[in-house]
Structure 1
Amino acid sequence: MVLTGPVRFEPPLDPDAPEARRWVLDELAKPEYRAAEPTAFDLFAQAVRDWFVGLFEGAGGLPMPALALIAVLVVAALVAIALLVFGLPRFRRRAGAPVPLFDDGDLRDAAALRRSAAAAAAAGDWALAVEERFRAIVRSLVERELVRVHPGTTAHGMADAAAGPFPDRAGALESAASDFDAVRYLSRPGTEAQYRRVTELEADLAAARPATGASDELAAPLAGGDA
């Protein structure tokens, strides 16, 4: 037999069951089919949607206002559960990186400053003890988000700002700021009595409840020599 044209081999058009199954699996393995598969989020959203639909099955006879009320009650219940589990959200702007205190690069937290103050007091270095304890007061108030300090904030500026959430401690805060300036900038030796006053003030502020609505006070930079 003589072939007068090119020979074309076509795949069988009537495959058996195993061959057909292999063709289907090969086709579904192509990337375009894999990309179309639902993600985990899609499955979760579908489950939530089915759950809501299930809530209203058999409620076809209810009027639309009643259905809307049920939906609102369901959402309110979910919000209440979320608040019980996770607590109230904090809308206050969270503090970023620690701001140096009094423009000297001090980024220590309140606990570290307390330890330093106690060590200085144990060594009889009352000037350093007073300075470190006042810094601990400032850092503690910043960590509690009761005040915010800025580069250039002074000790007296800090005392003025802290008097916002603690108005009945304004005098003690001002006195502590003066003690800080005296030992740091005027080279005064400091005394044990000063240290005890500043330490008692720190403990008092830690136990006190700040005044309502006064938690966003700013310690703005002030001009002057009491940096």
Structure 2
Amino acid sequence: MIVSSVLVALASTPLIPDGDGARELAEKELAKPEYQAAKPTLIDQWARAVVDFLIDMFTPQHGADLGPWAAIVIGVLLVAVLIAVLLIWGRPRRSRVRTTPSVLLGSADDRTAAELRAEADRAAREEDWAAAIVLRYRAVARSLIERDLIAPAPGATAQTIAREAVAPFPAEGDALHEAAVAFDDVRYLGHPGSAELYRALVQTDERLRSLRPVPIDAVPA
């Protein structure tokens, strides 16, 4: 395939090139992406070299100087190294970066808990209590997700998240329920919110951040 393409490239030239010209045309043709993509990888080349070495080692002209046991030991070692190389570099590594859910409490939002807290505090300074409460509850939910304490579905409601968070924090059940109610009131019922509700939500958030979650095995069925 490669040889025929090179010949076609040479034949399409109106003048008969000399040796240097033909070499230059061939190099340009072989430098095209389709030929570079077909080149063997480093692992392919290394594996081919190992196979060739093993074949040569066991042929009479090359392997006569090696004892049978030495040849077997060397062969086993080379195969083990080849397997290790394939296991480490021969397959794609699983990404360790956890993707952040883009949908949170019914809206597309990929901000971190810290970013949501900062936005909530900014809204509170402006006395926009409804926005502050919504943002702070989102921060609570995002923080629990970032800590791998809950795994809510994309359409999970505030109450669903509160109930799920009771498992690692059973003593905070009432506070979580009240926080979810405050979120629903300002988010869906149009309540203006208040400084008192926001302070209560901040205190709940801070307690959850400082408390050690209860292990799942310790939660009573």
- The equivalent of 1:154 in structure 2 is 157
Q: Is the 1:147–1:215 contact (alpha carbons within 8 Å) kept by the matching residues of 2? A: no
Q: Aligned-pair distance for 1:153?
A: 0.5
Q: Aligned-pair distance for 1:213?
A: 1.4
For residues 142-221 of structure 1, what are the structure 2 equivalents within 5 Å? 142-213=145-216
Rounded Cα–Cα distance in structure 1 between residues aligned with 2:195 and 2:152: 28
Larger Rg: 1
Rounded Cα–Cα distance in structure 2 between residues aligned with 1:191 and 1:201: 16
Once the two structures are superposed, residues 120-167 of structure 1 have per-residue CA deviations (whole angstroms, 9 ceiling, x without a partner) of: 011111111111000000000000000001121010111000001101
* Alignment coverage as a number of residue pairs: 137
Rounded Cα–Cα distance in structure 2 between residues aligned with 1:162 and 1:33: 57
RMSD across aligned positions (CA):
2.9
- The equivalent of 2:119 in structure 1 is 116
Structure 1 position 102 matched with structure 2 position 86: no
Q: Is the 2:106–2:155 contact (alpha carbons within 8 Å) kept by the matching residues of 1? A: yes
Which structure's residues are more often helix, by fraction?
Answer: 2
C-alpha spacing 1:128/1:173, structure 2 compared with 1 (3 Å) = same
What is the TM-score with the length of structure 1 in the denominator?
A: 0.54
Rounded Cα–Cα distance in structure 1 between residues aligned with 2:182 and 2:145: 20
C-alpha spacing 1:33/1:109, structure 2 compared with 1 (3 Å) = closer
Rounded Cα–Cα distance in structure 2 between residues aligned with 1:197 and 1:33: 69
C-alpha spacing 1:118/1:214, structure 2 compared with 1 (3 Å) = farther
SS in 2 for 1:148: coil
Unaligned stretches of 5+ residues in structure 2:
1-47, 55-76, 82-95
SS in 2 for 1:147: coil
- The equivalent of 1:128 in structure 2 is 131
Rounded Cα–Cα distance in structure 2 between residues aligned with 1:161 and 1:94: 24
Structure 1 position 36 matched with structure 2 position 52: yes
Amino acid at match of 1:154: T
Q: Is the 2:116–2:135 contact (alpha carbons within 8 Å) kept by the matching residues of 1? A: yes
Q: Aligned-pair distance for 1:36?
A: 2.9
For residues 21-100 of structure 1, what are the structure 2 equivalents within 5 Å? 36-37=52-53, 96-100=99-103
